[in-house]
Amino acid sequence: MIVQSFISDAIPSGTPHVRLAIYQGSGPTGDFSAVRTNLETLRGVAQRAQLLGAHLLSFPELYLSGYNTTDAKTAHALADRILNEGVLEEVADIARDQGLAIICPYPESAVVADAQRYYDSIVVFGPNGDTLKNYRKTHLWGGDERHIWSFGHVHPEEGEAFTVFKINGVNVGVLNCYEAEFPELSRILALKGAQLVVIPTAADDYMILRTGEKTKTPYPDAKFLIRANAYQNEMFCAYSNRRGIETEKGQEVSRYLGNSCLYDPHGNALLPETTLPPHRGDQPGSGWDEDILLIADCVPSYYGPTHPETLIHDQAKATHYVEDRRRDLYAALTKDHYIDPQSDQRIHYPEEPV
């Protein structure tokens, strides 16, 4: 496994900071042996990350099962086995054994509102093995996801969707893949005090749909949105993607872009960019089969204002987007309709997402 890092040995003692590790690799999907394989990879990566001083380790979307299990019955059966055979407890034990927090995306089986439901979820275990957050994807992408998964945080008993937790003194939040593309969500976490948002994803070069067809258009490279989320919220923002080939029973079903990234509160990249294959000898991680561990230090106190100094009412004042919001003007963001630009017609949102 290749390691690339942007870390400091000169962070003052007691300074809140997170050394974030992102695992970018490939793996199998489609049956429980794939889950066990992915779990053992997680165990080894966690050991390596701990040796490098990581506080928080992230894996890609639906990491435990693999992402592209297009058959709903199979995906649900895997979620049931993960629940009933204690797989998450094993992940919690790994977090405890290594003394680091783990962001572990997985398929969740749960009874909610008196019905059996399945979610594209992310559980975060703290360094003591305790659950810091269980987040169910709230904005599902495309027909295949909606065919398999329920929308998360629809019912009151599920609790609040967007919350933050502390890692080594830093406020952290999570979103899931497509949700990186909704600026409202990163802003909500910023308003709740988030200083780092980590977004596991499964952005692909191509995949096989449940119809058996191969997608013709790669998923857009959303790094420019990650950068924008970081800058306009004055936070660190990370995109944690897969890399390379995903197989189901030995057959290739997907290839992923491997465009993991981390931007700081000034919009600067803290991790090197990895291009798609063919392999380049001068660029580690550029092949389809090269797993990589990306590590960087997130130190909020290193970052000052992003704009020139100013005076407001003759008082020195820095520019901060969150402080300068005019919330009294934003009611349109939560109205029950929008205007279609082609027809100029009012389109109403459904009562529940569909």
| pLDDT exceeds cutoff 90 at 274 | no
CATH number of the domain at 194, please. 3.60.110.10
pLDDT of residue 182: 98
Least confidently predicted of 32-46, 172-186, 244-258, 330-344: 244-258
Whether 354 is covered by a domain: the verdict is no
pLDDT of residue 12: 92
| pLDDT exceeds cutoff 70 at 278 | no
Whether 7 is covered by a domain: the verdict is yes
Whether 338 is covered by a domain: the verdict is no
The token pair at 314 is 């003759």
Residue 234 near residue 322 (C-beta atoms within 8 A): yes
Whether 315 is covered by a domain: the verdict is no
| pLDDT exceeds cutoff 90 at 346 | yes
Nearest to 247 by CA among 36, 67, 42: 67
Least confidently predicted of 203-217, 304-318, 329-343: 304-318
Please tell me the distance from the alpha carbon of residue 141 to that of residue 104, in angstroms, as a whole number. Answer: 19
Mean pLDDT of the chain: 94
115 beta partners: 112
Residues spanned by the domain of 230: 2-308
Whether 15 is covered by a domain: the verdict is yes
Residue 253 near residue 208 (C-beta atoms within 8 A): yes
Band of residue 290 on the pLDDT scale cut at 50, 70, 90:
confident
Q: Which amino acid is at 65?
A: S
What average pLDDT score do residues 17-35 get? Answer: 95
Buried b (16+ CB within 10 A) or exposed e, 32-48: eebbeebbebbeebbeb
98 beta partners: none
pLDDT of residue 309: 87
| pLDDT exceeds cutoff 80 at 64 | yes
- Rounded to a whole number of angstroms, the distance between the first and last alpha carbons of the chain is 41
What beta strand segments (E) does the chain contain? 2-6, 18-24, 27-29, 56-58, 101-112, 115-125, 131-136, 165-167, 170-174, 196-200, 204-207, 236-240, 243-248, 251-257, 261-263, 292-298, 310-312, 315-317, 337-339, 346-348
pLDDT of residue 283: 72
Residue 8 near residue 299 (C-beta atoms within 8 A): yes
Beta strand 196-200 pairing with 236-240: parallel
216 beta partners: none
* DSSP one-letter code for 275: P
Band of residue 91 on the pLDDT scale cut at 50, 70, 90:
very high
Please tell me the distance from the alpha carbon of residue 88 to that of residue 65, in angstroms, as a whole number. Answer: 12
Tens digits of per-residue pLDDT, 140-154?
999 899 999 999 999
pLDDT of residue 289: 72
CA-to-CA separations, 152 to 214, 262, 323, in angstroms, rounded: 28, 26, 30
Q: How many domains does the chain have?
A: 1
What average pLDDT score do residues 261-273 get? Answer: 94
pLDDT of residue 277: 65
